[in-house]
Structure 1
Amino acid sequence: MSSNPPDFIPIAAPDIDEQEEAAVLRVLRSGRLAQGPEVAALEEEFARAHGSGFAIAVASGTAALHVALHVAGIGPGDEVLVPTFTFAASANAVLAVGARPVFVDIGDDFLIDLEDAESKLTGLAKGIMPVDLYGLMPDMDRMRAFASDHGLALIEDAAQAHLARRGSWRAGTAGIGAFSLYATKNMMSGEGGIVTMSDEQTARDAALFRNHGMETRYRHVTWGLNYRLSDLAAAIGRVQLEKLPKATARRRSIAGRFDAGLPAFFTRTDVPADAYHVYHQYTVRVPAGVRDETVDRFRSRGVGVDVYYPTPVHLQPSFGGAEGQCPTAERYCRQVLSLPVHPKVTDDQVDRIIDAATAIANNLA
């Protein structure tokens, strides 16, 4: 049981109301609970909302990454360039296809550093996986040029970037995209994921892989796994997608107030003029020596800040990397913290967060 006080502001809170309840009840009463018409409708609506040619719904964001890598032709013996400043799912999906993640440092924007990526290229590299961290896309013109110059497949981890844009590119459209519908994401279905692509053959391959390679009932034309999304989850996702533009506008409004109101003790990242940041998280940096104390002080004031991420993936025990491989990411992991920016944060709560930040800065700066 949570010990948080009633007025505690959580770092995330799903926006669920009678619309999701009605959608779930509709599916329950239909008797069609597994993958069916709700999944097909979610795929069509998601592709239209994101400007992708096709969208294939799967069981999780990690499954979406696995499917994306598989249909991109990445396999055993290959290498994929992955930023180390991300959730481990990005790298785990590379392992799932038998390939090796090559960990790349980040720039000041928390996104993959292409200069470091180039320095780590080998003849085994077959893909690059930029991560749209916190809801900000990298420069996709540069990313596509880099991938083209080096013969790499481009797999975009857009798990945190629903409706994000950068220049002329929408999230998930510059290569093969992988989105998450996990419960804390900007739109959710409890668990789930979406793979986006521009061509029909890749969509067909993804659809086969998520359902045991089954083309028609009990006719398996290739191998695959059970990565199906249920109609129950898809029905929730459809409601969430309808709410997403308004929810995103609210996130951006709260972020704007933080930009204007937070003291200089909290270092913000400049958002490029051509970017539409969707603020899955509002993340700042503080001096490394006081980050954990800053987190504790926020929480003691009823503000549920959190750290994404405390350890770069290459230094996780499962990967066994060495200190110094990705120095910017290693430093930022000791400095970052994220403030509540979800649509259920009220204007009064935004004021409370800014007031808490000001008091903490005055004490620790």
Structure 2
Amino acid sequence: MSFDEDFSLVTEDLSLHKIQKEIEKLKKQHSALQAEQRVLLEGRDSNVEFTKKFQERVVNMRRSLEDEKRKQELAVKKEQEKLEGLKQEHSRLKVEVMSMEQKLKTMDETNQNLRQQTEVSTAVPEKKVVFNGKTADGANALSFDMKPRIMYPMEGGTALITFEEEEVAEKILALKEHEVALGECSIVVQAEPVRFLVPSGVELDTQVCPHRILVSNLPKKESVDRILDKLEIHFSKSKNGGGEVEETDMLEDAGNVVITFMDSNIAKGLTDKQTHEVEMERGKKHKVKVTPFLNGSITVLQTCNITCKKTVLLTGIPAVMDQDNLQDQLEIHFQKTANSGGEVDAIVYNPPGRRSLAVFEEEAPEAEQSQ
């Protein structure tokens, strides 16, 4: 074997060995790649599992969020309903409070009215009364009756004649003109109805005067000046609960005395006690009643026109004779049934050139007239 052949063999051996090494290297790379592939596959499977679990968690989280959202919406709805209920309750309570305040105000006004009525009732002087068996409607009404006293102006040359029966006055008015014989002459007079504008309803606003008292139940036999002097002396003394007196006045129509004090803190104490013993004669005392004095003003005045049922106005009467004779002649004429007249209850003649005031008062009921 030549040298070239030996070299060729060596070369071949080296190439084979190199190939084997390369194969071994490739096997190792293949094994590494397989291992890396397994790792990647495991990583992929792990990622897929993680992704699946993550998606499940996302779904569960979304479902949980939706449930939480629904719960929150339901809670908000309940709170809104509760708030609306509270608002309605607040409105109801507000209305109830306003109603209670109005009721309290009404009760306060009622109490004030009752207090004023109590003071007014104690302000009435004592009078002896007796039940006469009669009843009237509206016993609980807060009102009072007025007896009218009307001043009717009479022109000159007129007469007022009042008949006992309304029918007679109606006949006289229906004829209008009447010829009255006066001996040798006669006169013609006109009959006219008597009309008044009178109050039909009056409302008064009364207040107790802090400076005045009303003294009633006074002795009948003493003179007015003596009564006023004794009352002023008694009620000016502090030991009697009085004070400095500014003025004393006698109410002639009622027979009571009004005493005015300088200070406003005197009257209340005296009216609270009511009964006071005043020395009218030396060593003799007389019990008087002290009640509040009321100041009042008319707040409502309603009026109406009325026609006098029994009284007729005669006009156009000349002064043909003296007043008394002419009045008698007129009465005689209108008493005769032939002249459509009847029984005359009252007559007054006012001559020409004179002006008089005729006083009209409320007619007493028949039951009272017969007593």
TM-score tier, shorter chain, comes to under 0.3
Higher relative contact order (CA 8 A, sep 6+): 2
TM-score (norm 2): 0.18
TM-score (norm 1): 0.19
Higher-strand-fraction structure? 2
Larger Rg: 2
